[in-house]
Amino acid sequence: MADKLPPTPKLDELEKGPWPSFVSEIKMAAKSSLASQDLLGLLERSYNEKIGHWKHGGIVGVLGYGGGVIGRYCDLPAEFPNVSHFHTVRVNQPAGWYYKTDALRKICDIWEKRGSGLTNMHGSTGDIILLGTRTDELEPIFAELTAIGFDLGGSGSDVRTPSCCLGKSRCEWACYDTMALTHDLTQSFQDELHRPAFPYKFKFKMSGCPNDCVASVARADISIIGTWRDNIRVNQDAVLEYTKNGLNIQKEVIAFCPGKCMEWDGKQLDIDNSTCRRCMHCINVMPKALRPGKDTGATVLIGSKAPIIEGALLSSVLIPFWKPVAPYTDLKDLMGRIWEIWCEEGKNRERIGEFIQRMGMGNFLETIGVEPIPEMVAHPRENPYVFYEEYLVEDDEEEGQDKN
């Protein structure tokens, strides 16, 4: 079968260099997979013609679910019959991406039998991505996946599969149990995950600390990022140890502190925690000397997205400090109120961040019953949800009283 590989001079360029290459992986799979052989031929043709040959979207899926399968057909089925159908299956990953090898083998066995054998571990959504199968294989794949304990993930206008960093399972900086929250939200929002009913996609991403290893602040509609509200724990002896080993604290720590909250006199590191931004920079540079505080929780942010229809947005603070305690009823109630107004007033393909921009954060907060507070304001006097009217009325009243 390997002799039948089509010539791919353009794709071969993508195998050069020290980094992993998806082309090498497809070529490896092509030794035993006709779909992978045709995929190589089709991709080479796309590179030559500078035209994509996929038709995306449509009707394919499994009975009862509105997400989890992304339909894809090739527009050259006669020339590349083995990729004429090349649907993607999104499988809900376990929180933190922990697997036993046995589970991975079972997934791969299913996919080699019923699909192209090509996988993407993991997609940007966090799901296990199984690339390339035929329409008539979808129901058997779904049945076999559920039999080994896996379910499909989200796609389309629904809650996308919630994802998280590995949190307290391995990371000493985790300020809350990201995996527990992710698992709970996944179970609680099964209906919203499998039956799309929103104006557009909705993503939850959980990071255990402000390092934000899942980049939730840049791409999740709801970012839940671990933080603390007491003081950074300092071991002054360990700080001195760093200096003895050549660390220039002034240059490499103090100068990069966004809150300018640290002072170093050559013997002692002083931190004004009231102006600390919880950015983690100092802790990352001196992990043996500094630790997050003990009163930990999370900041809940809303509204980020990557550029698709409109430009990119970063999340805004919605709840500055939240204690994630199971069963997280307060968060779920808040989500209900957010979805209610977004479903009611949101335009087709309008992400929640764009919706908030359109209606104004002040109106949005009022509708979902959240009080505006200073922690939501990135730059004083720039945000449209500072209600100056109240102050103006008060000022007028005071002026009136003075006159009398």
Partner 1 sequence: MAQMITAQEAAEAMFNMVKEAAGLRKLKPMDLTKNLLELFGDRVDKQICKEAIRELVESGRCVYTYFGGTYLELPHREGAAND
Q: Tokens representing 358? A: 């359109």
C-beta neighbour count of 253 within 10 angstroms: 23
Nearer to partner 1 by Cβ, of 55 and 113: the residue is 55
Nearer to partner 1 by Cβ, of 7 and 58: the residue is 58
Nearer to partner 1 by Cβ, of 55 and 294: the residue is 55
Nearer to partner 1 by Cβ, of 59 and 265: the residue is 59
How far apart, in Å, are the Cα atoms of 55 and each of 46, 71, 75, 268, 392? 13, 8, 7, 63, 57
Q: Tokens representing 375? A: 């922690």
Please state the closest distance from residue 68 (CB atom) to partner 1, in A. 10
Which residues, other chains included, contact 396 with Cβ-Cβ below 8 Å and sequence gap of 6+?
Answer: none
Please state the closest distance from residue 349 (CB atom) to partner 1, in A. 5
Distance CA 33, CA 54 (A): 19
Please state the closest distance from residue 32 (CB atom) to partner 1, in A. 23
Please state the closest distance from residue 241 (CB atom) to partner 1, in A. 56
Q: Tokens representing 14? A: 């993508």
Distance CA 134, CA 181 (A): 35
Q: Tokens representing 155? A: 């796609």
Asked if 164 contacts 177 with a C-beta cutoff of 8 angstroms, the reply is no
Written as one string, the DSSP assignment of 304-359 is -B-SSSS--B--EEEEEEE---TT-HHHHHHHHHHHHHHHHHPPTT--HHHHHHHH
Asked if 315 contacts 302 with a C-beta cutoff of 8 angstroms, the reply is yes
- Point out which residues bind partner 1 (CB under 8 A): 55, 57-61, 63-67, 70-71, 73-74, 77, 84-85, 135, 155-158, 191, 195-200, 343, 348-349
Residue in the block written with tokens 């490896």? 28
Asked if 312 contacts 354 with a C-beta cutoff of 8 angstroms, the reply is no
Please state the closest distance from residue 185 (CB atom) to partner 1, in A. 19
Please state the closest distance from residue 208 (CB atom) to partner 1, in A. 32
Please state the closest distance from residue 334 (CB atom) to partner 1, in A. 17
Nearer to partner 1 by Cβ, of 191 and 375: the residue is 191
Question: Does an H or E element contain 302, and which?
Answer: strand 296-302
